[in-house]
């Protein structure tokens, strides 16, 4: 089974985000990485860049949570943070979240540029034409 991810790469300096499809052996090499890990930009077509994994979600939109180990889905009691934002103090809710490890069920991976490469990102990832 071939896994395929959508990598959303955020450039903190400009505030822009770029969506890049990742498939093949590049996608397989991302499996097993955790939130907070620094990966080489070559996996998403950005050679000499370093990217930090900040999160992601699965096919149903269930978010990954940094403090839950593994890649499995679990229903945990949340007070605040990723997966649940409380509207009033003291409110708790049981919500489904996914662990902090990238697995084959993951669809989207959110990344932040932690080290710039030699070429600007606009050259390596051409901007998509907006639909009229």
Q: What is the pLDDT of residues 114-125, one digit of tens each?
A: 998 888 888 887
Q: Is 22 a member of any domain?
A: yes
> Rounded distance, CA 56 to CA 64, Å?
5
pLDDT digits (tens, 9 = 90+) for 26-45: 889 999 999 999 999 898 88
Report if residue 109 sits inside a domain: yes
Say if 48 falls within a structural domain. Answer: yes
Using an 8 Å Cβ cutoff, are 10 and 112 in contact? yes
The answer to the question of residue 75 being in a domain is no
Global confidence as pTM: 0.87
In the prediction, which pLDDT does 45 show? 84
Q: Is residue 129 part of a domain?
A: no
Number of domains in the chain: 1
Q: Domain span at residue 26?
A: 4-67+101-123
Residue 77 inside a domain? The answer is no
The whole-number pLDDT of residue 117 equals 84
Residue 131 has pLDDT above 60, yes or no: no
């Amino acid at each position: 089974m071939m896994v395929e991810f959508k990598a959303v790469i955020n450039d903190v300096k400009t505030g822009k985000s770029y969506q890049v499809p990742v498939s093949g052996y590049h996608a397989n090499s991302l499996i097993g990485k955790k939130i907070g890990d620094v990966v080489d930009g070559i996996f998403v077509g950005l050679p000499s860049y370093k990217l930090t994994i900040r999160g992601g979600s699965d096919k149903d939109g269930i978010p990954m949570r940094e403090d839950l180990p593994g890649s499995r889905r679990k229903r945990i009691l949340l007070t605040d943070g990723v997966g649940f934002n409380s509207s009033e103090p003291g409110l708790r809710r049981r919500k489904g979240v996914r662990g902090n490890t990238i697995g084959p069920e993951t669809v989207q991976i959110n990344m932040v540029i932690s080290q710039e490469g030699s070429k600007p990102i606009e050259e390596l990832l051409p901007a998509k034409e907006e639909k009229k």
